[in-house]
Structure 1
């Protein structure tokens, strides 16, 4: 039974493949959207503040795609490292030794994604919607996640 349970860890490869496919899809889609947006901008040739604001917002949304793709990539690498093999050549900052390392890396990226989402709302603000409530909610979530990270790192240093 222990051999079967030990070998069952390889089932996680399904999650690794799924996360890697999701990451690849988001990153390729983001690149495609970037190229299309650049070509469309060049074709129209219109240079106004309104176009600049719209262009900025579209690029912020594309960056959000790249960040989400990065989240899925980190999940794929982390699960692979934790369950399949530690022999993956990665930069030291991406090394994942336990589930807490993976959670911390994900939380850090989620904080950035939330910041980018809020920035997108600010850039597209029409002056009528209430951004204060949205901003406070985002700030509270970021604050809670940051507190969680600080508690984890404080607990690990003891």
Structure 2
């Protein structure tokens, strides 16, 4: 009996699957609306100064950042579903998850992209008054560490 209960308990993972999926959809919809209204506002104002274009560009980069986070949450949702509920889910090769290490690898890849976009946002918004080099170096070190993790993780799987 305990064996059956434990075998069936994997379906409890549907709770975080649904939660992360809904969170991902909410992020995508919200940021799409924000980006749309940002574009409408930029067109309505009508003045294309260097500052207004820069502000709009920062808004686009921030939207990309939120979209990447939504993608990471979606990958977690799909990964948990395929690990615990249905491993026959038809997925593209790059999204296939056979264990938690694969899921972590997919997540770390998206985190690297988010960190790169974070620096891009700071670089686009930079007005020359503060030094962003230290911030860039710190992010580069984190990205290097995550890349090292991915490389070691891939070597172990082969």
TM tier, smaller? over 0.9
Aligned to 1:96: 97
Aligned to 1:130: 131
CA distance in 1, matches of 2:70, 2:153: 25
> 1:126 Cα shift?
2.1
Q: Do structure 1's residue 73 and structure 2's residue 74 form an aligned pair? A: yes
CA distance in 2, matches of 1:155, 1:9: 27
TM-score norm. by structure 1 comes to 0.96
Aligned to 1:36: 37
Aligned to 1:9: 10
Q: Any idea what the Cα deviations from partners look like across 1:6-51, whole Å, max 9, x if unmatched?
A: 1111111110011001100100011101111111111111111111
More off after superposition, 118-127 vs 70-79: 118-127
**Structure 1 consecutive aligned stretches of length 4 or more whose deviation exceeds 6 Å:** none
Q: How many residues align?
A: 157
Gaps of 5+ in 2: none
Aligned to 1:116: 117
CA distance in 2, matches of 1:48, 1:130: 25
CA distance in 2, matches of 1:92, 1:153: 15
